[in-house]
Amino acid sequence: MSDIYYEIILEHYKFPRNYGKTDNPDIRVKDSNPLCGDEIEFYIKLDSEKKKIEEIKFIGKGCAISQAAASILTEIVKGKSLDEIKELKKEHILREMGNPYLGPSRIKCATLSLKALKLGVYTYLGQKLSSEESIL
């Protein structure tokens, strides 16, 4: 890994942004990498219209790449709409990491947080849809 990727990853790993939990999150989701058991858990508060991410925090355990990617992802998605989250691709995170070359197993480290976030958003939207349907 070249110095620039290494520096970005190490800096976020040592000083993760938005690390912690929030009270009463609208979305709380946890996911893990089945290959190693590393985990990421997000706590997300939405805006008053329940359309945008107002606050996002995470906790997790695992390798430097997975934890740095989670930190970077929180910075990318704060203020974004749930529709924009659905469109996010792994390239968005990799770009912010300095476009490191990562082999297949390391790509899973870098995308664990995105996988968790999308799981949370799609689950939330699914639940919202079913509760809206139930009151019609």
Q: Of 65, 25, 32, whose CA–CA distance to 46 is shortest?
A: 25
Residue 73 binds to ligand FES (criterion: CB under 6 A): no
Selected from 44, 93, 109, 121, the binder of ligand FES by CB under 6 A is 109
Cα–Cα distances in angstroms (integers) from residue 91 to residues 50, 59, 111, in the given order: 26, 23, 9
Distance of alpha carbon 41 from alpha carbon 62, whole angstroms: 12
36 in contact with ligand FES (CB under 6 A): yes
Which residue is nearest to ligand FES, using beta carbons?
Answer: 109
- Applying CB under 6 A, among 31, 62, 93, 114 the residue interacting with ligand FES is 62
In single-letter form, the type of residue at position 49 comes to E
- Is residue 65 part of the contact set for ligand FES (CB under 6 A)? yes
C-beta of 117: minimal distance to ligand FES in Å?
15
Segment interacting with ligand FES (CB under 6 A) among 3-11, 59-67, 79-87, 118-126 = 59-67
The secondary element (H helix, E strand) that includes residue 117 is helix 104-134
User: What does the H/E/C string look like for 66-78?
Assistant: HHHHHHHHHHHHC
* Angstrom distance (rounded) from CA 82 to CA 53: 7
Stretch that binds ligand FES, among 9-17, 58-66, 70-78, 82-90 (CB under 6 A): 58-66
Which residues sit at the interface with ligand FES, rule CB under 6 A? 33, 36, 38, 62-63, 65-66, 109, 112
